Chain A
Amino acid sequence: MVTKFITKEVKDRRGLLVFTFALFLCFLLVFMVIKPQSSIVEPFAVALSLVVMPLVALLFGASGFEAEFRSGAWAYLASRPVKRGTIWFMKYISLASIVGVVFLFYLVLLFAFPGARTFLTGTIYEYAYASKISLFLLGLLLYLLAFHIAFSLSFLSGKQLQTVFVALFVILGMGLVLYLYFNALQFFYPYVVGMNGILAFVAASFAGASFFSFTKSDFSQPRKKTLAFMKSVAVLLLVSLVLCTAWARLGGRTIGPGTFIWNLQTVGNEAYFTSNRGIFLFDPQKDAVRNLGGKPWLIMPFSISFGGENMLFLHYGGWRGMTQELWTMSEDGLRKSLLAGARDKKSPFYRLYFFSARLSSDGTKAALLTLPKGKEFNRAFPYVLWWMNMDGSDLRSAALGEPLNPRRTIEMLGWTRSGGDLLLYQFPLPGKNLPGKLYAFNFASGTCRPLAECQEIAVPTHISPGNGRFVFVHEDAGRRRVALLDLETFDFRDIFDGENLKPSGFRWSPDGKKVLFFSRRLPDELALNVYSLPADKIVTIPMIQDPKPNPAWIVPYADWVYGGANVLLAQKSGDAWSLRLFSAELKEEKAFPIPVQVRSTGYFVVMSGKVLAESQDERGLWRCDLGTGGWKKVY
């Protein structure tokens, strides 16, 4: 029976099929003529996948019931001993089969040509963190969406062209509405997960409304028929939106694609990280990951700090995840409390944007940087710095003004050991050739003093364990110099310099007495350096570079391991990454490969004899045992 239906539908659409295959032939000729590496391949592949194919699907869908309503066959079909639902379904299956075959021809066309194939599968769009979609999949989704919407609308009118335009209008209009809706929700990534399902839900809503209306409507009254359809589709779209939002809110953080790993760092001999499922601890003794705090905290990158036996973090809560809260929690996750929230009207933090937070090294004090709501994307004053005890008492604040520049982003790097000052970093303005700057905010006086210019981006990990020193790069007499800033006296001295130098990758040893870093001298010299504070000496080894370096010049990553006795380096050679173990004097002792499933940026954290690194898909963590060189996925 189905075959006969399909045969009839194919016969009815001979003209459309001929047109479609003629179009494919044109593209075929183009792909045959142009070279695979040609720059023309990309726009043609994009045009075919994202424009032509959805339009073809739109035309086929719009032809769904067009013939029946134009010719009056609907009355013939309705008078047959077959349920209307069956008629709708058979028509859907027949047309879906035809568009499926058309899609197969499109695949054959594209995959037969290396240039088009590579472009289709290799072009990836990232629409949110860790949420990517290939050009091919995006084209397929649009193809299916266009077909379903046009097919669903086709029974409302006997004019195919009218249906095509209405379907186009619906698709574009809905796309805009959904974008605005999820954009309002989505600042926090998990809601974008809802977008993963919304296209399917929309297509299903239209198809469902078409089915319900087709089976219940009076076809002799077009206005009633259209109204019935619109009511059904409105209800189903609303249900879809509620389901997607609920899914994003409740389940999106724990299920579906896009589980992300942020804030991976070591504290003592343990590693902590955050994901869309909460805060996690990796215990190297047990070789296992544990969830802390009992709920899916949503913590942005660089929004968690550790000190004493506590942690301090900014969490995005509330039903839309737009309410910011400052929380403190013990490192074992058992004790937690809310220090500040932006939702409480009686709170001094009401409607403020929480920019960043830092815990003092002894874990007894918290600092919070805020901006007025609406200013978070326009980093202009007034920044306000708040500080308090960890129980929320003794809350004080100061508006940050001169000598800080009101047009530049400020970040807190960390407290000094004594807790009397806070190290601040003002970001550079490359367009205006203004370098970054370091400042010290004194809590007693409430004033800022400038300390030094900082040529490379400063991050909290540049502060030594114990908060005694801060390593940074500045420029003097045209030479880049690595300097150490004493966080008590705020004096600094140079420890390394050179012409055309780009130092980076600073990592302090756990005892705070050594710091390693890379120094890169253009065009292609790279060295690994270890500076020893007690000896006031640098040991340097030149690195062998990948003969085909990545145009982005990705520097290898290194860190201390075994309590500072060794240095571990992740380096790429050819297409493969490997871990290389060096003594503190930079003599290589061992090397073993990093599996392809591990993220190829080489970033990792180390605890004693264990290394943690992200998965290649950025959704999991792998652990390497440095004793055996064995890798295991732990999250």
Chain B
Amino acid sequence: MSEILHISQLHKRFGKNHVLRGLDLSLEQGKVHGLLGKNGEGKTTLIRIIMGVIPADAGTIQVNGRTIRYSDASYKTDIGYIPEDPFFYENLKIGEFLAYNALFYPSWDARKAGAYLDRFSLNPKASISTLSRGTKLKLGLVTALSANPSLLILDDPTSGLDVPTRQDFLKDIIRELADGGTTVLFSTHLVHELERIVDRVHILKAGRIVVSDDYEHLKTQTGQAGLEAVFMAYVA
């Protein structure tokens, strides 16, 4: 199976805080990857470095076999990204924001965007400032998926959502994407949520990936029944 993302010896410091210390990570194409770690371990930092929001101090990142640099941008056309706290221009309407976002993606599919808006019952004429957090998350998903990404990165997107919305999101949408061949990297500290959808698990601890394996294999290896138990077995 080919790798869509390969990270080697990644380092990142914030002042004296050495957050990422030679991190290695590979994502196989077409699978749902769970990135687990305790709060403050560097999950968001890692994702921001992948997305080119902040630079790494050292290490290499390859996307679809091509080494990318901090100044590169074209590789992001193939990546959908929903950050932990997605940003929207509050003074725009939903339709205006999507039109603005479409400017960045050559492969933007307006029909798909319309279909997702209908699916999530979002009114393109609604002002973003009137949306709830859950609705904004859905808008973030529309934004990320309408560009037909081959890699979808989600940084703890469900925190703060109510349970039904979270389950709907995880069970239906993510699984649907993965079944369609989209690679998903799902970062969360709510471990139990990933259980139903994850294919591979990557555990981040002390600035490194300490575990990178198929979920089923991990369960067998650790003798643990659930993902949370598996996680606790490695980070405790």
Give A residues with C-beta under 8 Å from B: 1, 4-5, 8, 11-12, 71-73, 75-76, 78-86, 215-216, 218-221
7 nearest A-B residue pairs (beta carbon): A81-B76, A76-B87, A81-B77, A79-B51, A80-B104, A78-B53, A83-B73
B103 in contact with A1 (CB, 8 Å) = yes
Task: Please give the number of chain B residues whose Cβ is less than 8 angstroms from any Cβ of chain A in the complex.
Answer: 32
Q: Contacts of B71 on A, CB cut-off 8 Å? A: 83-85, 215-216
Q: Contacts of A79 on B, CB cut-off 8 Å? A: 48, 51-53, 76, 81, 83
Q: Does B120 contact A (CB under 8 A)?
A: no
Q: Contacts of A73 on B, CB cut-off 8 Å? A: 87, 89
A81 in contact with B87 (CB, 8 Å) = no
**How many Cβ-Cβ contacts under 8 Å join chain A to chain B?**
71
A75 in contact with B91 (CB, 8 Å) = no
Q: Does B190 contact A (CB under 8 A)?
A: no
Q: Smallest distance from the beta carbon of B69 to chain A beta carbons, Å? A: 11
Q: Smallest distance from the beta carbon of B163 to chain A beta carbons, Å? A: 27
Contact A11/B91 with A79-B81, A215-B71 known, Cβ cut-off 8 Å: yes
List 5 additional contacts besides A81-B77, A85-B71; criterion CB under 8 Å: A11-B91, A79-B52, A81-B76, A83-B71, A216-B70
A71 to B48, CA, bound (A): 17
Q: Does B124 contact A (CB under 8 A)?
A: no
30 contacts between A and B (CB under 8 A): A4-B99, A4-B100, A5-B103, A8-B89, A12-B89, A71-B87, A71-B90, A72-B85, A73-B87, A73-B89, A75-B83, A76-B87, A78-B51, A78-B53, A78-B54, A79-B52, A79-B76, A79-B81, A80-B101, A80-B104, A81-B74, A81-B75, A81-B77, A81-B79, A81-B105, A82-B73, A85-B71, A216-B71, A218-B54, A220-B54
Give B residues with C-beta under 8 Å from A: 14-15, 48, 51-55, 70-77, 79, 81, 83, 85-87, 89-92, 99-101, 103-105
A86 to B104, CA, bound (A): 11
B14 in contact with A220 (CB, 8 Å) = yes
Residue in B52, B91, B104 whose beta carbon sits within 8 Å of that of A12 in the complex = B91
A176 to B77, CA, bound (A): 48
Q: Contacts of B92 on A, CB cut-off 8 Å? A: 8, 11
Q: Contacts of B51 on A, CB cut-off 8 Å? A: 78-79
Q: Smallest distance from the beta carbon of B143 to chain A beta carbons, Å? A: 10
Q: Contacts of A220 on B, CB cut-off 8 Å? A: 14, 48, 53-54
B91 in contact with A81 (CB, 8 Å) = no
Q: Smallest distance from the beta carbon of B210 to chain A beta carbons, Å? A: 25
Q: Smallest distance from the beta carbon of A223 to chain B beta carbons, Å? A: 9
A130 to B51, CA, bound (A): 56
A81 in contact with B99 (CB, 8 Å) = no
Look across to chain B and name the residue whose beta carbon is closest to the beta carbon of A75.
B53
Look across to chain A and name the residue whose beta carbon is closest to the beta carbon of B97.
A8
Q: Contacts of A85 on B, CB cut-off 8 Å? A: 71
A80 in contact with B76 (CB, 8 Å) = yes
Q: Contacts of A72 on B, CB cut-off 8 Å? A: 85, 87
A1 to B99, CA, bound (A): 10
A218 in contact with B81 (CB, 8 Å) = no
Q: Smallest distance from the beta carbon of A518 to chain B beta carbons, Å? A: 74
Q: Smallest distance from the beta carbon of A595 to chain B beta carbons, Å? A: 57
Look across to chain A and name the residue whose beta carbon is closest to the beta carbon of B99.
A4
Q: Contacts of A215 on B, CB cut-off 8 Å? A: 71
A4 to B89, CA, bound (A): 14
A221 in contact with B73 (CB, 8 Å) = no
Q: Contacts of A80 on B, CB cut-off 8 Å? A: 73, 76, 101, 104
B55 in contact with A218 (CB, 8 Å) = yes
Q: Contacts of A11 on B, CB cut-off 8 Å? A: 91-92
Q: Contacts of A78 on B, CB cut-off 8 Å? A: 51-54
A5 to B89, CA, bound (A): 13
Q: Contacts of B73 on A, CB cut-off 8 Å? A: 80-84, 86
Q: Contacts of B52 on A, CB cut-off 8 Å? A: 78-79
A463 to B70, CA, bound (A): 78
Which of A1, A72, A82, A215 neighbours the largest number of chain B CB atoms within 10 Å of its CB? A82
Q: Smallest distance from the beta carbon of B63 to chain A beta carbons, Å? A: 11
Look across to chain A and name the residue whose beta carbon is closest to the beta carbon of B87.
A76
Q: Contacts of B100 on A, CB cut-off 8 Å? A: 4, 8
Q: Smallest distance from the beta carbon of A393 to chain B beta carbons, Å? A: 70
Q: Smallest distance from the beta carbon of A2 to chain B beta carbons, Å? A: 10
A606 to B99, CA, bound (A): 75
Look across to chain B and name the residue whose beta carbon is closest to the beta carbon of A90.
B103
Q: Smallest distance from the beta carbon of A79 to chain B beta carbons, Å? A: 4
Q: Contacts of B86 on A, CB cut-off 8 Å? A: 76
Q: Smallest distance from the beta carbon of A114 to chain B beta carbons, Å? A: 41
A86 to B73, CA, bound (A): 10
Q: Smallest distance from the beta carbon of B105 to chain A beta carbons, Å? A: 6
Which of A8, A218, A220 neighbours the largest number of chain B CB atoms within 10 Å of its CB? A218
Q: Smallest distance from the beta carbon of B53 to chain A beta carbons, Å? A: 4
Which of B53, B70, B75, B79 neighbours the largest number of chain A CB atoms within 10 Å of its CB? B53
Residue in A4, A12, A216 whose beta carbon sits within 8 Å of that of B103 in the complex = A4
Q: Contacts of B91 on A, CB cut-off 8 Å? A: 11-12
A86 to B75, CA, bound (A): 15
Q: Smallest distance from the beta carbon of B147 to chain A beta carbons, Å? A: 8
Q: Smallest distance from the beta carbon of A385 to chain B beta carbons, Å? A: 69
Q: Contacts of A71 on B, CB cut-off 8 Å? A: 87, 90
Q: Contacts of B76 on A, CB cut-off 8 Å? A: 79-81
Q: Contacts of A75 on B, CB cut-off 8 Å? A: 48, 53, 83, 87
Q: Contacts of B104 on A, CB cut-off 8 Å? A: 80-82
A79 to B87, CA, bound (A): 11
A545 to B90, CA, bound (A): 74
A85 to B230, CA, bound (A): 44
A79 to B53, CA, bound (A): 5
A2 to B48, CA, bound (A): 27
Q: Contacts of B48 on A, CB cut-off 8 Å? A: 75, 79, 220
Which of B72, B76, B77, B87 neighbours the largest number of chain A CB atoms within 10 Å of its CB? B87
Q: Contacts of A4 on B, CB cut-off 8 Å? A: 99-100, 103
